Chains A and B, each alone.
Chain A
Amino acid sequence: MLCKIAWGNVRRAGRDYLVYLLTLTLAVTVFYAFNTISLQVDIAGVTKQNAGMGETLGGIISGLTVFLGFVMGFLMVYANNFIMKRRKKEFGLYQVLGMSRGQVARIMTLETFFVSGAALVLGLILGLALSQVMVFFTASLFKTQIADFHFFFSLGAFMMTVGCLVAIFLVTLVFNLRVVRRARIIDLMRASRQNETIKTRNPWISALVFVVGLAAIIVAYVRLLHDGLPYDGQPEAMNDFLITTVTVVAGTILFFFGLSGFLLKALQGVRGLYWRGLNMVTLRQLAAKVNTVSFSMAVIAMILFLAITSVTTGMSLADTMNNTVERGTPVDYTRCLVYWGPSVVDEMNAEADAQAAASAGAPSDAEAVAQRTQAARYAVADGPVDLMAASAGDTIDAGTPEAHSFDLDSITGDYVQVDGYDSIPRDGERPVVTLKDLCDKVGMDLPSGVDASSVDSLGLIVMTESNYNDYLRFRGMAPVELGEDGYTILSDMGATVNDIYNKVLGEGIELEIGGRTLHPAQDRVPEDASTFQNSMMGMNSGTIVLPDDLVASLDLAPYYSYLMVNYADDISTEEGDAYVQEERTFGDILNDAGESVAGWGVEATRTSTYESVDSMNGLISYLAIYIGFVLVVACAAILTIQQLSGVADAMGNYRILSELGTATNEIAHSVLVQQTIFFLFPLVVGIAHAIVALKGIIELVALFGGMSIGGTVGLTTLIFVVAYGGYFCVTYLMSRGMVHEAARARHAA
């Protein structure tokens, strides 16, 4: 019997439940489809390239799902509250007719159960379909080929989805039961009448609040644009940033709090507009509603801001990597050696001494030998090491009978070694030239994100002219001619930093190094001839090329060496990649005294760099779309529910308007205006926030190789238009149906 009532209720309250059902279904669909990611990457052939990808993505996505599940859960509670408020009277009636509270609670439980169940079934069917389609999307994101497409079902994703839905169901239930338990019959019966009392706020105060809110937002914008984001985590900057954040949040809330009052006052000022058609009705309806929904509008604006920012940033990062990867992979294989600097050497030696002292007593001869071979002592290298020769120190399959030396030479065609020198002379304190020096000379600010405390000690890497010309010849480019007193600067970091270097070179700034006055030999940074290793993004943040004799006279210690290798003609890329990727241990780099002078750093093949870019791209895009989509849907759903319940509350008013002789489409137009304002304002504020924040973010990202928003905006916009606009259309169409219904209803009936 209760079951029958509940089922009847769900069907009757169909419209109220429709949005609830729609949103829950959408959530289930998205949850399931995205949680099949680990299976998808399998089918899309991503795991063949990058074995850990499936697990990594799967892990992140399930973590995100739990978080988004929470967001959805609260959204559902919210949606449900609206339905409950409208039905209080009905529940009161059940109790008047003699049902116990337990029975009423059971009816409600069953109703929630029916709707959630329907959402689960519908959502899973859609999710199953979506996940099959998404495989192709995944493949294109990760730039792989689908080897063997087949229908698949993921038990893990299924469990995850059901788990989330059950959690949402339970939370909703708890809130619903509380409504029934707490309420007295008289309150339930009176609920509809209580809703009619409309609290109005003084429009003057509202308008003032609006202006204050707007001012706060503007102040926060100015602060953010001026200070930028706090990259280095300095307490002062963080503090400033915190104040900015609080200001913008408070400003946003006040803005929406006073919005309707402001609009009302502003339009009342224009008599001809206010006292015309349904304008005053539209404004008063807005004002009446904004009282209850202003806070959620502010929250929605903030959520939309987060969604826009995360999606755009994520996609732009991916874009940036895509654009720089070609320049970033000049050769088949690179490896890098990093020399110990003086401070590292001192530190490590001090540690070794301490250990030696601790073990006390004279070490036996055998121990002494063992310590020496493991290079217990460290030293600053006298000069660069020959990497090709040193590579032979690596052992493939170490510890097995097949152990043999890494014979890089056997697969190498042509190669070049690039050596960079520390810019602080061996006996000096200060770098010969720093980024700050250059900034000061051209009157530019240090790029945001540069650690302010170490600007004085951060020098440019130094390179000899002959070495750089070796590199240029290797790359098939024309050598540079520095002459007696020329210099040039190399960097592949993109906009922010290169702007400074380009200005230095372009303005012909003279540099005083080693007692010589130097002039730029080029007027621009050769960005395409500044990359020394395979990498997703620019890694060379600034290298100054000086005449050989000047470098020699400066007495600089080596800083790093790069080996850039193209495979021999008879070695295919696959063979070469396979050889360098074989499991091996790195050899020690020792000087004549048996002291360690350097350690092996990053090595990368062109293929692996491309693959990791693709994977990274896929990962970031995936997460950005997932988060963005769910957040946007959540916001749109809240707005839809609010608007529909608002229209339902105003049905009486629309009926009166119709009786007074207002054309139905005029009423519908008034509703459209109201809904447009409710949907548009949070979006506009969210976008405005995002633009300002993105400006800060772009500055940060630009430091790592430039960032273009352009291409990604297209996709972001599409996601928005489809999700947000879709909800808006649904809201309006349903509202229009309700208005027509109100117009048809006879006042006597």
Chain B
Amino acid sequence: MVVQSQNPAAAGAHMKTASASGATGAPVLEVRHIEKVYGARANATHALRDVSFTVEQGDFIGIMGASGSGKSTLLNCISTIDSVTSGNVLVHGVDVTRLKAKKLTRFRREQLGFIFQDSNLLDTLTARENIALPLTISRVPAHDVLIRVEEVARRLGIAEVLEKYPYQLSGGQQQRVAAARALVTDPAIIMADEPTGALDSKNARLLLESLETMNERYRATVLMVTHDSFAASYTHRVLFIRDGRIFTELRRGDASRQAFFERIMEIVAMMGGEGSDAL
């Protein structure tokens, strides 16, 4: 079976070769008819209803929706932080909804990188140690750890602050450290949950440009949840979620970021408009 070569243990190494050869083919992520129901019968809440989509290698995808629309639930289900009620999530052809706890942990460690709204750095570690953490957890030799941390920090422009503690960094720097931590393992997908939510516009732009660079220059696959149209305009493709369903999908194509931004705004306005009609 093809799946064998997608063994999560070899995934780190595999990813490098895959991106180096620029291989396309099997989608990085396949979401098939997932449902998520909270609570029991009487007061059951459908957070997700029959959501399906596919992400190819090197995609930069945005997921938009109002709060309560189910976009965070979707991200949690894909990242295996939450379990789905039904449906499948395949990463490189491996169904992660079927994985046992131990393998799940490993999958998360080796295939995913996370960036959260609050940077979620360990306050007791320096920036360098925070970035190194996913590598040391995976028992990468110390020598490689330090080299890779240096490299990713340089790419994100935080090489000078590596010895500082999170509380000594600005919000933007913290977020870039978090991004570096997500990138350092060369994950299959980078999951970003409202990464610009807590940043001012200048720092938000810096972070988004970093993600864009990572995507364009290093072919990293990024999945970003946001309610901010400006942030979404940096992506190639935006999925709009409403009431737990994919409402519509927008592809950027060759349009400029400005044009894409305006089209996103239109959809947002339309979704909001319909909402107000419903009232």
Contact = CB atoms under 8 A, between A and B. Distances in A.
Given A196-B167, A656-B122, A746-B81, A661 B112 contact: yes
Contacts of A198: 123-124, 165, 167
A282 to B, nearest CB: 10
B136 A275 contact: yes
Interface in B135-152: 135-139, 141-143, 145-146
A659 B116 CA distance: 11
B134 A279 contact: no
A1 to B, nearest CB: 29
A660 B119 CA distance: 13
Interface residues of B, number: 40
Nearest to A664: B105
Contacts of A472: none
B90 interface: no
Contact of B125 (A196, A281, A663): A281
Contacts of B73: 748
B193 interface: yes
A350 to B, nearest CB: 78
B109 A662 contact: yes
A660 B165 CA distance: 19
A660 B116 contact: no
B81 A659 contact: yes
A281 B138 CA distance: 14
B85 to A, nearest CB: 15
Interface string B72-101: 110110000110000000000000000000
Contacts of A279: 136
Contacts of A285: 124
B133 interface: yes
B142 A275 contact: yes
B101 to A, nearest CB: 8
Contacts of B75: 748
Contacts of A652: 123
B129 interface: yes
B59 interface: no
Contact of B129 (A284, A656, A660, A748): A284
Contact of A653 (B108, B116, B122, B134): B122
B136 A659 contact: no
Nearest to A663: B105
Interface in A269-322: 271-272, 274-281, 284-285, 287-288
A225 B227 CA distance: 72
B153 interface: no
B137 A272 contact: no
B122 to A, nearest CB: 5
B114 interface: yes
> Interface residues of B: mostly helix, strand, loop or mixed?
helix
Contacts of A666: 137
Contacts of B76: 746-748
B106 interface: yes
Nearest to B138: A661
B132 interface: yes
B102 interface: yes
B120 interface: yes
Q: Which of A279, A284, A287 counts the most chain B CB atoms within 10 A?
A: A284
A746 B82 contact: yes
A277 B142 contact: no
Nearest to A659: B114
A392 interface: no
Contacts of B138: 661
B79 to A, nearest CB: 8
A653 B120 CA distance: 8
Contacts of A661: 105-110, 112, 134, 137-138
A9 interface: no
Nearest to B116: A747
Interface in A649-702: 650, 652-653, 656-657, 659-664, 666
Interface in B191-215: 193
Contact of B122 (A271, A275, A287, A657): A657
Contacts of A662: 105, 109, 137
Contacts of A288: 123-124
B114 A275 contact: no
Contacts of A281: 122, 124-125, 129, 133
A275 B146 contact: yes
19 contacts: A196-B123, A196-B167, A198-B123, A271-B142, A275-B142, A276-B136, A276-B139, A280-B132, A281-B124, A284-B125, A656-B122, A659-B81, A659-B114, A660-B181, A661-B106, A663-B102, A747-B81, A748-B72, A748-B73
Interface of B: 72-73, 75-76, 81-82, 102, 105-110, 112, 114, 116, 120-125, 129, 132-139, 141-143, 145-146, 165, 167, 181, 193
Interface of A: 196-198, 200, 271-272, 274-281, 284-285, 287-288, 650, 652-653, 656-657, 659-664, 666, 746-748
Given A196-B123, A747-B81, 8 more contacts: A271-B142, A271-B146, A274-B142, A279-B136, A281-B122, A661-B138, A746-B76, A746-B82
